[in-house]
Amino acid sequence: MSNNVCLSHIISQDTPSYGNRDRFFIRTNSAIQKGETANSSAWIFSNNHIGTHIDSPYHFCENGKKTYKIPVDDYIFNQVQLIDIPCKEAGLIGIKDLEKASSISKDVELLLIRTGFENLRFDECYWNDNPGIAPEMADFFRENYPRLRCIGFDCISLTSWKYRLEGRQSHQAFLCPESGKKAIMVIEDMSLKSLKNRINWVVVAPLFVEDGNGGPVTVFANQNS
C-alpha cells in the first residue's frame, strides 16, 4: 500500500520568513458574502522566497538558469531519500553529520534532510536559531552522489541566521558551481513530519514567473504506508 502526501506548508499571513523580515498578505478583492459574484483576492509577497520554496540557480548567479528554464523532468524525482539529522540550535550541518545519518543511495536524485526544526516553526528560534548547511557539502554531494539534482529540508533556509557569511557561500556553492559542475537546487521550509523512510517519488511544482530566481512550490510525495 502507498499513500500520497503534501510536503509544502500552507502559505498564510502567519508564514515565517528568513530573518523575520518579510510577510505574505491576503487582501479581499470580492466576496460572495458581500453579495458579489465570486470570491477573489490579492496575494502579496514582500519577498518571493517565503514559505516552502525553491532556490533556482538565478537566485545567486546572474547567468544561472531561471526556474522556468529548467526542464520539467528535473522537477520529477524517482530516487528520493529521507535522512534524519536532529538539530536543536543554530549551526552548520556538515560532512560529519551526514556520515552519522543513514547511508545514502548512490542513485539519489532528491535528498530530504529532516532536522526536526519544523516543530518550532512558529517560534522565534525557527528563524533566529535555524541550522544551515555548510558550503563544502555542495561539492561533497557532487562527488559522491552524481545524480543528485536537489536537496530539501525542514528549516527556513540553507543559510543559518547566525552564520550568514557561510550561508551566502553555501548558496553560491550549491547554485553557482564552477564550470563543468552542475547546480543543485534547494527547497527550503518543507514539511517533512509525515514522511517515512521509503519514498517512491516526489513531484515539485514551482510557479513559473518571468523573474525566475525561485519561489513557492507545491511538493507532492508518494510513500509506502
pLDDT tens track for 132-167? 999 999 999 999 999 999 999 999 999 999 999 999
Q: What is the CATH number of the domain that holds 188?
A: 3.50.30.50
Indicate if the pLDDT at residue 76 is higher than 90.
yes
Q: Is the pLDDT of residue 1 over 80?
A: no
42 occurs within a structural domain: no
Mean pLDDT of all residues belonging to the chain = 96
Contacts of 10 (CB under 8 A, 6+ apart): none
Residue 210 domain flag:
yes
- Tens digits of per-residue pLDDT, 193-202? 999 868 999 9
The residue with greater pLDDT, 131 or 1, is 131
Question: Grid coordinates in use for 63?
Answer: 547567468
pLDDT(12) > 80 = yes
Q: Is residue 135 part of a domain?
A: yes
> Residue 3's closest CA among 212, 194, 157?
194
> pLDDT at residue 2 above 90?
no
Q: Which cell goes with 184?
A: 543543485
> Cβ(179)–Cβ(162) under 8 Å?
no
Whole-number pLDDT of residue 99: 85
Residue from 135, 178, 185 nearest 160 by CA? 135
Q: Which domain holds residue 159?
A: 2-9+48-224
pTM: 0.96
Rounded mean pLDDT of 218-224?
A: 96
pLDDT tens digit sequence for 86-127: 999 999 999 999 988 879 999 999 999 999 999 999 999 999
Is the residue at 197 inside a domain? yes
Q: 114: how many CB neighbours lie within 10 A of its CB?
A: 21
85: in domain: yes
In a domain, 24, yes or no: no
Domain count, the chain: 1
- Residue 199 maps to a domain: yes
| pLDDT > 90? residue 207 | yes
Quick one: what percent of the chain has pLDDT higher than 90?
A: 92
Per-residue pLDDT, 156: 98
Residue 100's pLDDT is: 82
Element (H, E) at 186: strand 185-188
Residue 145 lies in a domain: yes
